[in-house]
Amino acid sequence: MFAASASAMRNLLFLCHRFPYPPNKGEKIRAWHILHHLGRTHRLHVGCFIDDKVDWDHLPYVRSLCADVACFDFIPIRQRLRALAGLRPGRALTLDYFHDPRLQRWVDETLRKRAIDDIFVFSSSMAPYVMKAPLMEAGARTRILDMVDVDSEKWTAYADHFSWPMKAVWAREGRTLLAFERAAAARFDRTLFVSGDECRRFAALAPECAARTGWVENGVDLVRFSPESGFSNPFTGDAPRIVFTGTMDYWPNADAVSWFAREVMPILRRRAVPPEFHVVGANPGKELLKLAAAPGVFVTGRVADTRPYIAHASAVVAPLRIARGIQNKVLEAMAMAKPVVASRQAFEGVRARPGQDLLVAEGAEGTALAVSEVLDGRHPGLGQAARRAVELAYDWSATLSVLDGFFRDMPQPEECRAHQRNHTGAPT
């Protein structure tokens, strides 16, 4: 991980709300690649939570790459109760959900005892751990907050899909979290997002912070997600397979597959050769498991590797009705040269050409039509075009090069400065 000499390295405090390894889902993918990139120029002091017991097995490896790693077990039910107990007017539940006195003590001690040069905070929910620290006022060379998405907008969107009382709960969370996001952005030197769309949305909501906002796009591991990998077929039989991948205890994913199974699959099952819909991902709840009772619907639960399922899919779908930022599941399927049918929400932020690199569809009839066209062979070059699109736009080494330009007093090659000018709200 390390490229600079030990004497040239600066100390970086890196906070993230989930243990970033292995990079096998959502925010862990982005956090890991950013951490790995920053490890070339920094001694890493990492503080985070572990909410999946499997991740403890990977702690020795991550520790071998860092100067210090502090992990604390995260028990969701305990944190929910803690958040509800701390409920008070104007404060977002998210902040108390991710608050832990043990991590706060470690952060305080690290800032007191270590010569921390720079701070990188992954997600707004972790910002409170450093916002009151003296180092936020003076001492640290650079303080960066990676919000990734405008999380407050997600909660506001949730409110539109629920009835009372949860509608009121999510609407309140959206309002209170946005107020905190604005306060946090005002305290950091730079606030980052995963796409230009997310950055511009936040700048519109928080115009006072617009000059210090920017974006660093996600990438995709083009070697790991390669169409040449040659995976064994995990399926049986000869039916066409439609695949969705994602963590299934994340509500937008659960909502998407439930909608697809109930609204789109009955249309597709009327085809001469009925396709199968395979939901591939960990932690499906009881309602999702019930979907498997429908003809042609399969729910795998946790699998060791999602790539064989993608590799042998006839089509990959991303029918999300609520989505923020850039969907890794879309980039990964495109990297494996698979035909992708995405909703407008899942496509937002992806730099690709609808109709040429992937298909964008709306509604049950429109989605069924797009999938049917793929199954009928009407888009023969779609997968190859998808691979070319991510090769051009989503190589991690290119997307992360902009990060180097955000740290003060660090060498900035002209290509980094040019990339930064193209990917930030304002040049530095």
CA distance 343 to 318: 6
- Beta-strand ranges (E) seen in 80-117 are none
- 209 & 252 share domain: no
Same domain membership, residue 338 and residue 271:
yes
Contacts of 381 (CB under 8 A, 6+ apart): none
Q: What is the distance between the terminal CA atoms of the chain, rounded to a whole angstrom?
A: 27
In terms of C-beta density within 10 A (0-12 exposed, 13-18 middle, 19 or more buried), how is residue 101 classed? exposed
Which residues are 297's β-sheet partners? Answer: 277
* Collapsed DSSP state (helix, strand, coil) of residue 251: helix
Q: How far is residue 343 CA from its own chain's centroid?
A: 17
* Residue 182 shares a structural domain with residue 268: no
| Residue 425 token pair | 């709200």
- Whether 235 is in a domain gets the answer no
How would you class 150 by CB atoms within 10 Å of its CB: exposed for 0-12, middle for 13-18, buried for 19 or more? buried
Q: What is the pLDDT of residue 7?
A: 56
Q: Are residues 275 and 210 in the same domain?
A: no
Between CA 153 and CA 187 the distance in angstroms is: 21
Residues 78 and 44 in one domain: yes
Together in a domain, 380 and 405: no
Q: What is the total count of domains within the chain?
A: 2
How many alpha carbons lie under 13 Å from residue 399 in its C-beta half-sphere?
A: 25
Q: Which domain holds residue 367?
A: 241-393
For residues 350 and 308, give the distance between their C-alpha atoms in angstroms, rounded to a whole number. Answer: 23
Q: How far is the C-alpha of 311 from the C-alpha of 224, rounded, in Å?
A: 12
The answer to whether the beta carbons of residues 426 and 211 sit under 8 Å apart is: yes
Distance between CA atoms of 270 and 162, rounded to whole angstroms? 31
What does the pLDDT read at residue 423?
40
Residues 30 and 173 grouped into a single domain: yes
**1 domain residue, yes or no:** no
Q: Is residue 185 part of a domain?
A: yes
The two tokens of residue 34 are 């950013």
Q: Are residues 116 and 179 in the same domain?
A: yes
Distance, in Å, from the CA atom of 348 to the CA atom of 70, rounded to the nearest integer, reads 35
CATH of the domain at 127: 3.40.50.2000
The answer to whether position 53 is within a domain reads: yes
371's enclosing H/E stretch is: helix 363-375
Domain membership flag for residue 234: no
User: 147 and 83: one domain?
Assistant: yes
CA pair distance 246, 289, nearest whole angstrom: 15
Q: Are residues 58 and 104 in the same domain?
A: yes
- Residue 202 CA to residue 189 CA, distance in Å, equals 16
Q: Between vectors from CA 277 to CA 273 and to CA 283, what angle results, nearest 5°?
A: 165
Both 316 and 370 in a single domain? Answer: yes
pLDDT at residue 9 in the model: 87
Sign of CA dihedral 160, 162, 163, 165: negative
Q: What are the backbone dihedrals phi and psi of residue 315, each rounded to the nearest 5 degrees, phi first?
A: -155, 150
Q: How far apart are CA 270 and CA 250, in angstroms?
A: 30
Q: Find, among 214, 194, 188, the residue nearest to 203 by Cα.
A: 214
Residue 167 resides in a domain: yes
> If you search the block for the tokens 């990917």, which residue do you land on?
423
Question: Mean pLDDT, 10 residues at a time, over the chain (428 residues)?
Answer: 61 97 92 96 97 95 97 95 89 96 96 92 96 65 93 94 93 97 95 95 96 94 94 96 96 96 98 98 94 96 96 98 92 98 95 97 98 98 98 93 79 39 38
Residues in the chain: 428
* Same domain, yes or no: 213 and 353: no
Q: What pLDDT score was predicted for residue 28?
A: 95
Q: Is residue 228 part of a domain?
A: no
Does 96 fall in a domain?
A: yes
Contacts 24+ apart (CB under 8 A), 354-363: 356/382, 356/385, 357/382, 357/385, 357/386, 357/388, 357/389, 358/330, 358/334, 358/382, 358/386
